Each structure stands twice: as C-alpha cells, then as structure tokens.
Structure 1
Amino acid sequence: MQFSSSSAHRSPPKITTLVLLSGLSALSLNLFLPSLPNMALHFQADYKVMQLSIALYLLVNAVLQILIGPIADKAGRRPVLLWGLVLFLLATLGCIYAPNVEVFLVFRMCQAIIVVGMVLSRAAVRDLYDQDQAASMIGYVTMGMAVVPMIGPAIGGLLEESYGWKANFWLPFVLGVMTLMLTYSDFGETSAKSGKTLIQQFREYPELLRSPRFWGYSLSSALSSGAFFAYLGGAPFIGTELFGLSAAEVGIYFGAPAVGYFLGNFVSGRYSVHFGVNRMVLWGCWLNAIGVAMSAVLFLAGFGTALSFFGFMTFVGVGNGMTIPNATAGALSVRPHLAATASGLSGAIMLSGGAGLSALAGALLTHETGAMPLLWLMLATSVLAVCAILSVIRREQKLGL
C-alpha cells in the first residue's frame, strides 16, 4: 500500500478534516471509561489491571509524540497520517476481538498511534499559516478536543448500557474509517520532505532543545495545563469524599473546566491574530492563576464549597484554552522547518508533566488535608507558567523580535 502525494492530493486540508483528526485522538482516550467494570468481568481481570489501559495508553502516547514529529518532517504529513489511521483501525479491531486482558492491553497501547491526528493536524496548520494566524486556527482545531472529552464518557455510558462494552470500540473504528477516507481525499501534503535521513532528522532535536524560546513556550503550555491535570487527579476525591457528591453530581461539576476550555479556544480562534501569541499566552496563564487563587482564598477563609471549587475551575479552562493553542503555535514557530518535531516534543513535555502532576495530586489529598494541597499545587504550576511566558517576552524584547 502506498500513500503518496499525487497531484490530486496537493490541496491543503479543510478545517473540518483537522478537527476530526484531533477529535478522534481525544475520543480514543476516555470513551470506554464507563465500560471498565464490565470489561474487568468479561476478561476476568482485576479492575486495577483494566485501569492500566489508561496509564499505558498515555505512556505510549507521550513516546509516540516524540517519534512522530521527526518521521513526519522526513516523510511528509500525509503518508504518516494515513498509515497512522490504518494502524489505529487494526489496533481497534485487536481490542474488540482480544481473547484475554493481556492481548487487549497490547492492542490498547497500539491504539495510541492515533496521536498522529493531534500532532500532525497542528503541524499542518503551522505549515500553512504564519505564527499568529496559526494560533487562531489551532484554537479552532482544538475546540474539538475540548468538546469530545466532555461528552465522550456520557456517550460511552449510553453505548455500554445499550450494546455492551465492545460498542465503545466499534464507534471509534467506524469514525476512524470515515476519517481515513476523508483524510485520503482531502489532506494534501502541507510540507516539503526534508531530504534528510531519519537519523539526521532525530539529530535536529538538540536545535529545539537549545532554544530558550521553545522551552519558554513549551513550559508555559505544560505548566498551565499541569494545573488542569492536577485537577483531574484530585477533583474526584474532593467531590465525593470532601463534599459528599454523588457520581452523577461529580460528573456534572467535573465538566466546568471543559466548558471554560471551549470558550478559551473560541477566544484564541477569534483574537490571536489581533493581539498576538505572546499576549494571549500571558493573559491565559494569568486567568489560570487568578481562578485557582480565588478558590484558595475562599477555602482559607472557611467559605469553600463544591460550587466555588468547581466553579472557579472554569477560569482554569478558559486560561488553558487561550494558552495552549498560542503557546503551541509559538513553539512550532521557533524552528518552522521542524514544525512536526516541535509539535510532538512540546506535546510529550505537556503530557508527561501532566501525568506526574495528576498522580501527585491524588497522593497529596486526604480527609485531614482537605482541598488545599491540590489548590497549592495548581497555584504553583500556574504561577510558574506565567514566569515561563514572561521569560519568552523578555527574550524577544532583548533580541528585538
């Protein structure tokens, strides 16, 4: 099978194609979560073993983001995307027909290849647009990534009740087939092949790693989103154990940052070109920090409630929705010829840091400590994100950029 860039496939992809690619990547993460108990029964496995399907997926996801970028800079976006989608479909079938939990977990890790959709949809945007316009377009592309995780578990729950756990893998399979067909017909190559060997391409990493601006943008994104990842690790405990909310109530409250993220992405799409990347990242990081700080003040004063805790997390979502698309566009613009490499590396930095903060948040919380350890952790990462983008702004002023 050969996925070349023939003359029929040279037109740039439509925004809907890019949204589908990034949305399918997000959907595969959490759609099946409501099915985990029944999947444990089906495979006669311990629930904690089934939970490995999330941790292992994230681990492979982070590693693949580092590898995909150089490969796509070498071979082009189109063939890597198409092969990635084909492999995702085969892995999904493997999950559906797995005879035991060990085989399922292997194919579940293989499913992480769908991260090509997220990495290369962002890289394609940077191929096609300058920095500020790219930030605007990435904002629109990642709106799908905000909506899908918000509604994914709800859809997964309905599918589980109606058709069983396998339906939560048949749905991404069908959507994957549709996305593959659309990508094949619509996604023209957006980048010239580098002409370098793969080894030479991987040797380009130090060029990014030596760039203070790349680190500034990547860390502002990673630390800002780190506050959200810490929230993911600690909020369920706070909702159920500290405030006595039911599972349904936690599910409703839990979506507050996702609503904010959607709004922040819209703001990015609408205003990034006008105000520029750096200002949008700075304002997003400040909003993130202010929301957490206001929640912390209420808890310290003894007025913290479930409504105030989850309500102020909307600010975290808005801040991230402004920070991540713009910081990503900034990181991809430091070395435009390494856009896919930068997209993968910055994504891996964000994901690996987020996974660590999520685990740390869960470990810090007890009934005795209350919500404050989580809020202090979120506030610290938010303030460090502000420092990271300020370092970029100062450096650009010094260099006259």
Structure 2
Amino acid sequence: MNEDDAAVSVKKRRVAVILLMTMVLLGVFPLDVLLPSFPALAEHFRTSPADIALSISLFAVGISLSQLLIGPLSDRMGRKGLLLAGMAVSIIGATGCLLATDYSWFLLFRMIQAIGCGCFVLTQALVQDLFAGKERDRLRILMVTASGIFISISPLAGTLMQQALDWPGSFVVFIALAGAVFLKACFFLENQRPTNVMHRGIVQSYRVVYRDVGFTGYWLIAAIAFACHFSFIVISPLIFMDQLQLSPYEFSLTLLLYGLAYIIGGIVARILGGRIAPNTLIIVGLGLIFFSGLVMLMLAKFFGLSTLTVLVPMIICTAGTTIARPVATSKAMEIFPDRAGTSAAAGNTLVFIFGGLISALINLSATDLQTTLALSFLLLSASAIILNALITRRHRALTAG
C-alpha cells in the first residue's frame, strides 16, 4: 500500500469512528434526555406524567421489535439502505412529535421514531464489517465507554435543553444529529453485505445463532455486565432524589461523576487488551463487578446510605462493565461473521431484555435498594464467571476432539 492509499484508509477509519460514535449517541438520546421534560410534556398535552412515562416504555418496545427485523434483513440487503431508511423514519417520527397537538398523535409518532431508531442495532454489524482484530475490539471498548458517558450526561443535557428550548429542544437536537448521520452515511458507506449468507427466513436465522452455545453464552455475559450498569441507572433517581433528597441538578452532577468510571474502565480495557487474553479480560471485568458488590455491602453496613457509599462501588462496577462487556460482545460476534446483522440484533435484544428484567426485579425492593443492588452484583457476576468457565472448557474439549 502506497502513502496515498494509507492516508485514504486512515481517513475512512476516522470517518467511520465518528459515524459510529454519533449513532451511539443517538441510541441513548431519545430516552434519557427527555426525562427532565416529563412535567412540561404532561402540561402541554394535558395528560399525566405517567402517560409520558408510558411513551418511554413504548419507545423501548418499538426499538426492540424493529431491530429484530432490521438485523437479519441487513445481512441480505446490506447495511446502508436500511440505515438510511431507519434514519429517515426516525426523523419523520421526531418531526411528528414536534408538530403533534394531541397526546395520541404524540404517542403514535414516538412509536414511528422508535421503529426508525431500531437501525442503531447496525452499529455492531458495521464494526464487524469495517474493522478487524484488535482494532475492532478497541472500537467496541470505545463505544461502550462513549455510551456510558452519554447516558451519564443525558440528564444534565436534558435539563439545559428544557431550560433553553422547552420540551421540543430534545426533538430538535435529535433531528439535527440524525440528519447529520443520514448525510454522512449516504456519502461514506458502501452498500456491501456478506457474500456467503444463505437465504434463510428470519426465524430460521435466529434459530441458527441462538443454538450456538458460545454465541448465546458470550451475549449472556455481555447482558449481565450491562444489567449491572442499567439497573443502577434505572433506580438512581429513587436513591438520589427520593431517598437522599438531591435536587435534579445535583442528581445530574452525581451522574457526571459516575461517567468518569466509563473513562477509567475504557483506559484500563485498552491497556490490558493488548497484554492479556480475551477470556482473562472478561474475568477481570466480572471480578471488579463482584468486588463492587462486596464494597457496597460493607459501606452500607458501616456507613449507611449516602451518595459516596453508592457512587464509589458503582464506579468500580462500571469499570468492570466497560472491561468485560466489549470483549464478550466481540467473542460472540466473531462466531457468525457472515451474519453480523442477525448476530447484533439477536445479542442486543438479549441484552435489552435481560437488563430490563433485572432492573425491574431490583426496583421491587424499594425499602433497601442499596443492599439489593449489591447482592445482585454478587450473584450476577458469579454466574457470569461460571458461564465463562463453562464456555472455555467446552471450547477446549471441542478443539481437543
């Protein structure tokens, strides 16, 4: 490769990284940024905050169902066309939300926006298509780190947008970002797809990937790591605002400190990634989550509930999540490289469902959320460590045989 070709290759990778990071941002933007606008939305549409919360739940359901179709279809039709179509539909939905004067119409357009946002499942497939080896692993670490940071700053960003532009602010910013992604993808991406994909039905495609023990096992490990982080995000308003009586602004600043854990975890993961084996890296990450559970239990017992007794162990836990989750995801995605779209959709759906179920179960223990969270970390991380050991043993047995 001559110098000109090398320069073009570096530029393409840089553009790809920017595109993927923007897609990661858009993946969390429609949910978390809107939270501070609940009262304003309820007042505008003359409904209750509970109805606005319902729109968030339906949005998540819409994304989940949409990505189940988009993943396998992208293996047949290519990523570019479906990504552009999804972005166009999400922009139409967000625009409809801006123009809606009735709650029913708002709910309908939120579902349309959610269906379009299902295209963000293609981030994992695009990473599989455009990158290889350690560069692919490093990018997945960067994506997990960025996702956590975006989630951490979303409440503060939502508060600022609410103050500056009222509730339409988040939709206006979403439309601008989505439009930028649409244009960038239109000119940058090529509509390539794996040439060896067998033309199976969608159900059969999912049956093939889910039957593989390694694939399902590694995605379950990724789901467990995600569930520990997601559970905290879901119950954090109950801990910090309801129980500790922090103001929304103080709560936003607290989550900013929590976001530092993603940066620390990302740095550690990048350093260790080039020095130790992937399975060992998974164990290190899960070990940190287990350790965070122990620390949280001890702090709760000796010092009670406070911002620090929750935040310190959560920083340790999130560092573990940032280390373990990207490696487990890469291990899973490598099993079916020619079905990257199906693999990403199957895995992300598993992650989403698992995170939702675990957070819902933890939320049932409203009297002692801190202890329940700590015990969950211990149980989940131990289960994931055992699962990783079983997958490794099975792989060695198959290799030896």
Counterparts in 2 of 1:291 and 1:12: CA distance versus 1, 3 Å: closer
Partner of residue 26, structure 2: 24
What are the within-5 Å matches in structure 2 for residues 259-298 of structure 1?
A: 259-298=260-299
Q: What is the deviation of 1:251?
A: 2.6
Which stretch shows the higher mean deviation, 302-311 or 82-91? 302-311
- The CA distance in 2 between the partners of 1:190 and 1:11, in whole Å, is 16
- The CA distance in 1 between the partners of 2:13 and 2:263, in whole Å, is 29
Counterparts in 2 of 1:277 and 1:134: CA distance versus 1, 3 Å: farther
Partner of residue 48, structure 1: 50
Q: What is the deviation of 1:246?
A: 3.4
- The CA distance in 1 between the partners of 2:146 and 2:34, in whole Å, is 18
Partner of residue 383, structure 1: 382
Which of these residues, 63, 66, 72, is aligned with residue 64 of structure 1? 66
Q: What is the deviation of 1:305?
A: 3.4
- The CA distance in 2 between the partners of 1:182 and 1:363, in whole Å, is 44
Q: What is the deviation of 1:179?
A: 1.1
Q: What is the deviation of 1:287?
A: 0.9
The answer to whether structure 1 residue 398 and structure 2 residue 400 are counterparts is no
> Is the 1:226–1:354 Cα contact (8 Å) retained in structure 2?
yes
> Is the 1:261–1:317 Cα contact (8 Å) retained in structure 2?
yes
> Is the 2:278–2:327 Cα contact (8 Å) retained in structure 1?
yes
Partner of residue 333, structure 1: 334
The answer to whether structure 1 residue 168 and structure 2 residue 176 are counterparts is no
Which stretch shows the higher mean deviation, 151-160 or 208-217? 151-160
> Is the 1:17–1:179 Cα contact (8 Å) retained in structure 2?
yes
Q: Secondary structure at the match of 1:384?
A: helix
Deviations 1:223-270, CA, capped at 9 Å, x for gaps: 121112222233322223443433333332234443212332344445
> Is the 1:295–1:309 Cα contact (8 Å) retained in structure 2?
yes
Which stretch shows the higher mean deviation, 277-286 or 238-247? 238-247
> Is the 1:31–1:156 Cα contact (8 Å) retained in structure 2?
yes
- The CA distance in 1 between the partners of 2:196 and 2:335, in whole Å, is 17
The letter for the 1-side match of 2:379 is: A
Counterparts in 2 of 1:328 and 1:115: CA distance versus 1, 3 Å: farther
Amino-acid identity (%)? 23
Partner of residue 321, structure 2: 320
What are the within-5 Å matches in structure 2 for residues 1-400 of structure 1?
A: 14-130=16-132, 132-192=134-194, 196-197=198-199, 200-302=201-303, 305-366=306-367, 369=368, 371-400=370-399
Q: What is the deviation of 1:324?
A: 1.8
The letter for the 1-side match of 2:389 is: L
Counterparts in 2 of 1:193 and 1:165: CA distance versus 1, 3 Å: farther
Deviations 1:70-108, CA, capped at 9 Å, x for gaps: 011111111111111111111111111112111111211
Deviations 1:277-299, CA, capped at 9 Å, x for gaps: 32222211111111122111222
- The CA distance in 2 between the partners of 1:370 and 1:23, in whole Å, is 29
Q: What is the deviation of 1:69?
A: 1.0
Counterparts in 2 of 1:169 and 1:345: CA distance versus 1, 3 Å: same
TM-score by length of 1: 0.89
- The CA distance in 2 between the partners of 1:360 and 1:80, in whole Å, is 35
- RMSD across aligned positions (CA): 2.4
Which stretch shows the higher mean deviation, 142-151 or 237-246? 237-246
Partner of residue 7, structure 1: none
TM-score by length of 2: 0.89
Q: Secondary structure at the match of 1:189?
A: coil
Deviations 1:301-323, CA, capped at 9 Å, x for gaps: 45553212111100111111112
Partner of residue 6, structure 1: none
The letter for the 1-side match of 2:211 is: R
Counterparts in 2 of 1:233 and 1:16: CA distance versus 1, 3 Å: closer
Which stretch shows the higher mean deviation, 40-49 or 385-394? 385-394
> Is the 1:132–1:276 Cα contact (8 Å) retained in structure 2?
no
> Is the 1:281–1:322 Cα contact (8 Å) retained in structure 2?
yes
Q: Secondary structure at the match of 1:245?
A: coil
Counterparts in 2 of 1:253 and 1:382: CA distance versus 1, 3 Å: farther
- The CA distance in 1 between the partners of 2:172 and 2:116, in whole Å, is 15
The letter for the 1-side match of 2:157 is: I
Q: What is the deviation of 1:131?
A: 5.1
Counterparts in 2 of 1:278 and 1:353: CA distance versus 1, 3 Å: same
- The CA distance in 1 between the partners of 2:284 and 2:384, in whole Å, is 11
> Is the 2:90–2:117 Cα contact (8 Å) retained in structure 1?
no
Counterparts in 2 of 1:195 and 1:281: CA distance versus 1, 3 Å: closer
Task: Figure out how many residues of one structure are paired with residues of the other and give that number.
Answer: 389
> Is the 1:11–1:188 Cα contact (8 Å) retained in structure 2?
no
Q: What is the deviation of 1:377?
A: 2.3
The letter for the 1-side match of 2:181 is: T
Counterparts in 2 of 1:214 and 1:192: CA distance versus 1, 3 Å: closer
Q: What is the deviation of 1:274?
A: 4.1
Give the unaligned 5+ runs of structure 1: 1-9
> Is the 1:131–1:333 Cα contact (8 Å) retained in structure 2?
no
